[in-house]
Structure formats: structure tokens, C-alpha cells
Structure 1
Amino acid sequence: MAVTHIALLLYVSIFILYILSILSLEKLFSHRPKVKSDTVFKIYAGFQPYFFTLWTFTLHMIFVILAILDETSKILKLPVAIQKRLGKTRAFIFNTLLFPSCLLVSTFFWGIWHIDRELIFPKAVDEFFPSWLNHMLHTFTLVPMVIELLLPKKYNFVQFRQAAPILIIYSLVYGAILISLYLRHGVWIYPVFKIFTWPQRIFFLALIMAVQVLFLKIGISIQNTKRPSKTAKIK
């Protein structure tokens, strides 16, 4: 079986799992279960669209759909212009936003979890949030990252100097939204921010951005190792 067919099969399987996860999330927050910590549930239900994990999961859905369309266009031998557009968009989403954001989510979530899970995902959440869904959002999402990095590649390489400003703006927008939620509603959706002073919060957000940019550099460098020998220059 050709690599393209294998990639298509893998991404279709991942897409199905993602759809099941979305349906489970929708069902989870469509009604109010009887839980001891109603405040925690209200935060997760009421501010669900503002969690960076779900921002990243949305990027995952966009990327997987693009990957499926891209691989399908190759199998069906659609016009070259269509294949190029799909390939470039797929590479842009993956390298510029998805790869650094996905690694950030998994690294910081599980890192803080092992220090003190109450700072990132309070134990009270276990009352209504299933463990498998937690791992789907914070662990399994690394699988398509590995698949995409392992797939052969000849075109559509992204340059770091062009991708970095876009990622930084994306990160700044999220940071501004996170702070505005606190100023408007008095809620930190991530408990870790409660223990910080304002200078520490700003430093922590800056650290997150720096780590994201580092992950961006790593991802692009890995992808650039696939360049044909004549253009094997890392940019």
C-alpha cells in the first residue's frame, strides 16, 4: 500500500476519533450533572471556548480535514493547482500553529499536573469529565504530530522567520483574552494563575510564548531535514 493511502487511512481514523470526542464534549456540557463542585463545572461549561486546549483541538480538526483532502487529491490526481493549494495550507497550519501549540498543551498540562494537578485540572473535574476524553485532548493529539513528521515531504516548507510573527500574534491574542476574562468576570480558567502576582503572570505568559516559538523552531527544523539535497538549507 502506498504511503499516501496509509496516510489517508490514518488521518480518516483520527478524524473519526476527533468527531466522537466533539460529540462527547457537546453531550457533557449540554446538561448540568449533579456534582459536588458546581463552581468548577460552571467554569468549564461557561468558559469552554476560551480554553487553549480547545483552541488547539480546533486547529487539529482543521489540519486533519486538510490532510485528508490533500492525500485524497493526490490519489485522485486532481489538478496540480488544487494539490499545491491544499499542500501549502496544510503545511502552514501544521508548522506555524498546530505543532508548537500541541506540544505546548501536552508539555505544560502534564508538567503542571505532576507538580500539582489542582493548578491545571482540579480533581473535582473528574466528577464530570471522563479520563479518556482528558487523554484525547492532552495526549492522543501528539499522534498526528508524529505521523506528519514521519511522512515524506518534498515541497511546501515553511520558513521560521515568516512563521514566528504569526505564532507570536496568535499567542498574544490568546493571552489578552485570558486576562480580559479575569478583568471582566474575575475568573482564571487556569487555577495556576491564581497563585501568581501580576508580574509573575506576565512572566509566565511570556515564558509560554517563548516555549511555543522554540517548539516552532524545532518543528520546522525537523521538517527541513526532508528537503531534497539541492535545497537542504535550513531557513
Structure 2
Amino acid sequence: FSHSPCQICTDILTCAYLCTCPLPSGWCFHCSIIFLPAQVIQAVFFGICVLTDLSSLLTKGNDSQEQERQLKKLISLRDWMMAVLAFPIGVFVVTMFWSIYIYDRELVYPKLLDNFIPAWLNHGMHTTVLPFILIEMRTTHHQYPSRSCGLAAVCTFAVGYILWVCWIHHVTGVWVYPLLEYLSPGVKIIFFAAVTIIINIFYLLGEVLNNYIWDTQK
């Protein structure tokens, strides 16, 4: 379980960046619903990466089987989060957000939010996620779960998040993503299904990319 200094520093800096990214004054409930889930996933994931790196260093040269067993559990959790949440959700957030933003920003990020969220923080939420996760994939080999289990977990998360968005609308009467205001109920179902499929595709992309990077180095 050796880890290079570059890899450890990358994990620590990424985790610190995500955890200390401040919420601007005027931050509202609507904004937090939009941004926090993806940020929490990335912050928790890179926090686990840092914990794994440090645990690996502390147990290096140690013959304790219990510590070795705990480290393996931590690595398994890190790899599972990378495969199921960090990579597919991170890539989805970046690609979907900027695609819709370029088409019509009012559908996903109304200009009104510029009064509360500075441009650098917007990029912190919707741009830097991608390079961070690609660096992690390039510097660390991750063991993906079986494809059926991985896809099932991704679908579970996607459906859970969609239900949460619908619940927020039921309680507040507001869709946290303005795009949904313009869709009929039938089109919303198609849209949610398409989102779930896209996230699954990104899961498969991550699996292929991970295998390509590390198989070619064997």
C-alpha cells in the first residue's frame, strides 16, 4: 500500500480546498440544495483518501495484522466511493452544469446567484472537481466493484437524489434546478431517466479509464 509523496500532498491539498471552501454571505437554502451534495461527496472522498494515505504510512513496516486489516477496509471504502460516487457524480456535475450553462445559464444557474456566489466559488464547485478527480485516478489505482454491484449502487444514489429534489419541490413549491420548471411531468420523468443513464455511463467510463491507466503500466 505504498503512496508517493506527490499523491499524499495532492490528496491533502484537495481535501483542504474542498473542506475550507467558504459559503459566501447571503448563502441561501436554495443555493445550498444545489451545490452542497456534490461538494460533500468530494470532500468526504478526499478526506478518506488522506486518512488512507496517513494510515498507510503509519502501518508501513508494521506486522500488526489487525492494522493491516483495518487499512484494507479503508482502501476498499476509498475505492468504492471513487467508483460509485466521486468519479461519476463529479464528471456529471461538471459536464451537465457547463453544458446547460452555455446553452442558457438561467436554466441551471440564474444570474441572480452572482450577487451571492463569486465566480471563483462557482468554478470551485463546478470546474475544479474534474481535474482533482482525474489526478486522483492517475496517481492511485482503484479497485472497482463488480459491474452489477457498481451500477446498482449508482442507480440507487441517482434515484435517491431525484426523490430528494422532488421532495424539496413538494415541501417548498420550488424546483432547485430552474430547468425543471419548464418541463412537463412526462418530460421530467424522461429527463430523470436520462440523468440516471448518463451517470451510469460515467461510471462505466471511470471503470474503463481506471483499467486503461493501470493496465498499461503493468
Query: Is the shorter-chain TM-score for this pair beyond 0.5, marking a shared fold?
Result: yes
Aligned-residue sequence identity (percent) comes to 23
Partner of 1:50: 33
Deviates more, 1:113-122 or 1:81-90: 81-90
Give the Å deviation of 1:48.
4.3
Q: How does 1:53-72 map to 2 (within 5 A)?
A: 53-72=35-54
What is the SS of the residue equivalent to 2:123?
helix
Identify which of 118, 129, 134 aligns with 1:146: 134
Can you list the C-alpha shifts for 1:59-110, whole angstroms capped at 9, x where unaligned? 1111111111111222221632122111110000010111111111111110
For residues 220 and 159 of structure 1, the distance between their equivalents in structure 2, rounded to whole angstroms, comes to 10
Q: How does 1:53-202 map to 2 (within 5 A)?
A: 53-76=35-58, 77=60, 79-153=67-141, 156-202=143-189
For residues 183 and 112 of structure 1, the distance between their equivalents in structure 2, rounded to whole angstroms, comes to 24
Question: For residue 188 of structure 1, what is the amino acid of its counterpart?
Answer: W
What is the SS of the residue equivalent to 1:157?
coil
Can you list the C-alpha shifts for 1:157-211, whole angstroms capped at 9, x where unaligned? 3222111111111111111111122222210111111111111111111111100
What is the SS of the residue equivalent to 2:145?
coil
Can you list the C-alpha shifts for 1:12-65, whole angstroms capped at 9, x where unaligned? 1112222331xx21x524xxxxxxxxxxxxxx61234532x3211111111111
Residue pair 2:25, 2:116 contacting (<8 A) in 1 also: yes
For residues 140 and 122 of structure 2, the distance between their equivalents in structure 1, rounded to whole angstroms, comes to 31
Residue pair 1:158, 1:220 contacting (<8 A) in 2 also: no
TM-score, structure 2 as length reference: 0.88
Give the Å deviation of 1:136.
0.2
What is the SS of the residue equivalent to 2:169?
helix
Partner of 1:8: 8
Residue pair 2:7, 2:140 contacting (<8 A) in 1 also: no
TM-aligned CA distance change 1:117 to 1:228, over 3 Å: closer
Give the Å deviation of 1:139.
0.3
TM-aligned CA distance change 1:152 to 1:61, over 3 Å: closer
Give the Å deviation of 1:143.
2.1
Question: For residue 200 of structure 2, what is the amino acid of its counterpart?
Answer: V
Identify which of 10, 15, 25 aligns with 1:28: 25
Question: For residue 88 of structure 2, what is the amino acid of its counterpart?
Answer: P
Residue pair 2:11, 2:136 contacting (<8 A) in 1 also: no
What is the SS of the residue equivalent to 1:72?
helix
For residues 144 and 158 of structure 1, the distance between their equivalents in structure 2, rounded to whole angstroms, comes to 22
Question: For residue 131 of structure 2, what is the amino acid of its counterpart?
Answer: V
RMSD: 2.1
Give the Å deviation of 1:215.
0.2
Question: For residue 108 of structure 2, what is the amino acid of its counterpart?
Answer: I
Question: For residue 211 of structure 2, what is the amino acid of its counterpart?
Answer: N
For structure 2, the 5+ residue unaligned runs are none
